Amino acid sequence: SGGTLLRASVDEHAVVLMVFIGTVPELIHTAFIKCAQELEIEANKCSDEDYEVYISMYQSLSERYRLEDESVMIEEFYRSMVLLICGFAECTLKGELLNPGQRFKGNYLNSVYNQVNAEQKLGLKGMGFYWKNHVSFKKTRNQIAHSKCEVLISKEELLEALDGVHTLLRAVADAIAAKHMD
């Protein structure tokens, strides 16, 4: 049934996003460590054991390879994950609308959720029941998407939001599956 496929899709997407959040920052960190080690080797080769030359060479190379950008890259990755998590929720719910091309004014995610709930007579509670911090997370999403301001978000906040989105979408999928069984 539709609900069973939706359940599997929701679970699969949630796992993929969780793996991204858990591994990509580690991969970035590891790449920067490896790069720093390679620059040390290169600076050593060129310095002929002269410490001043080594330091100068290493600083020059690290500026060229932007070693100081590790935290910036991770922050940018986290910001992109905010958009991805919200997109996961919006696209999944939009796919359950009778008219997926329907336009909404105001809070898109709330509107789509309420419309799916009403159209399919799912009898679900308000969105906040399933996803506790959805209001502040969507505010963060809007700041990132529209204000271009330097919003900081932590790994923990991302995982918490992902858990909320997963709970919300599973409630929808479970309700749809239950309707198809009746």
Query: Among residues 176, 48, 161, which one has the least CA distance to residue 124?
Result: 176
Query: Among residues 139, 33, 167, which one has the least CA distance to residue 82?
Result: 139
Per-residue DSSP letter, 74: H
pTM: 0.88
Q: What is the pLDDT tens value at each position of the chain, 182 positions in all?
A: 667 899 999 999 999 999 999 999 999 999 999 999 999 999 989 888 888 999 999 898 888 888 889 999 999 999 999 999 999 999 999 999 999 888 988 889 999 999 999 999 999 999 999 999 999 999 999 999 888 778 899 999 999 999 999 999 999 999 999 988 86
CA distance 7 to 180: 13
